[in-house]
Amino acid sequence: MVVHTHTPELECYRRMAVELFFAEGNHVCAFCVANGSCVLQDVAVEVGMDHSRFPYQYPQRQVDASHALFGLDRHRCMS
CA distances from 67 to 63, 64, 71 (A): 11, 8, 6
21-25, 30-34, 36-40: segment of lowest average pLDDT: 30-34
The residue range of the domain holding 35 is: 8-73
Please tell me the predicted confidence (pLDDT) of residue 77. 66
The model's pTM is 0.73
Confirm whether 78 is domain-assigned.
no
Confirm whether 41 is domain-assigned.
yes
Q: Are 47 and 14 in contact (CB under 8 A)?
A: yes
Tell me which of 22 and 17 has the higher pLDDT.
Answer: 17
Tell me which of 76 and 11 has the higher pLDDT.
Answer: 11
Structural domain count, the chain: 1
